[in-house]
Amino acid sequence: MDLHFHNDEYVTPPGSLSQLLSHPYYGDRKCIEIAIFNDHRYAFFFWNKWTQKLINDDSVNYPPSLVTLDWHQDLVYPTDGEKEWLKELDLNNNKDVALYSWANLSNLNDTHILAAAYLNIIGDIYVHCRQGKFESHWEDEYITDRYGNVHTIKKFKKYKDLENHLLSSEKNNVYFDIDLDFFTLNNPLQIGGGSGNYTYLPEKTIKEMLNSDNPLMQWIFQRLQGITIATEPEHTGGLLKSNKLLNLINNIWFKPSLFVSRPGKWDKETQWKHLR
């Protein structure tokens, strides 16, 4: 059976939502998109969509770096066979990239980052995570993309270490990526995540991390080219817990809520709290 699409330009991965917003640093002079979805691998689609637009608009000379918060590292390298598939992918065709994200990236949601790096969709990679039993798991890694560019992969156990590193870096453009399972501490679903019940970062800590006056968030917002959020309720203790965490982020950043649309009344639509 052949699949037919009414308009390929507007095809997105299944169940994903996105919203165009004013920029959190430049305000109405610039806009960015935030994308929310269940399966983390769908971030690949949105990073590519945004990078292709930046390239076509001649806005950047190199792809944005990725800053990601995740319980897992999600750093599985593409196999030789997968590299050949990636080379054949038409990055300017949203339909093809959406289908690839759904059907060809691993349903374990751990191959999307390095697949994107291999195609030079993203630049260097900064992961703040909880997965890593041995010290060797925290060492820097490198991946050479299909064009010969080398991408550095840095992993951080502590938020402050991520902050200190990025604030001293010379990166000019970033994508900010959050997997909501990052906010779990004891996570019995994960290897090495403990047993018993789920436990979570205190709301106070999450608010301090993501608040617009946090030095790292100020740094990210100034350089931001897009936000991706994976809800993955099966890894956060259930749908209600996932929704609660998403709502917390929503309340930290936005008023009114995400996806509030009031045609002709822009002041009643979603806005960044710190820009109101």
Q: What is the pLDDT of residues 82-132, one digit of tens each?
A: 999 999 999 999 999 999 999 999 999 899 999 999 999 999 999 999 866
Each residue of 227-271: pLDDT tens digit? 999 999 999 999 999 999 999 999 999 999 999 988 877 778 999
Q: What angle do CA 198, 200, 206 make, to 5 degrees?
A: 160
Instruction: Answer whether residue 193 shows pLDDT above 60.
Output: no
Structural domains for the chain = 8-275 (3.40.800)
Share of the chain above pLDDT 70, in %: 95
Q: If you ran DSSP here, which 8-state letter would residue 233 be given?
A: G
For the segment 49-57, the average pLDDT, to the nearest whole number, is: 95
Strands (E) across the chain are located at 17-23, 27-37, 65-69, 125-128, 141-144, 150-156, 174-179, 224-230
Whole-prediction pTM: 0.94
Q: What are the residues whose beta carbons fall under 8 Å from the beta carbon of 138, sequence distance 6 or more? A: 132, 155, 157
pLDDT at residue 1 greater than cutoff 90 = no
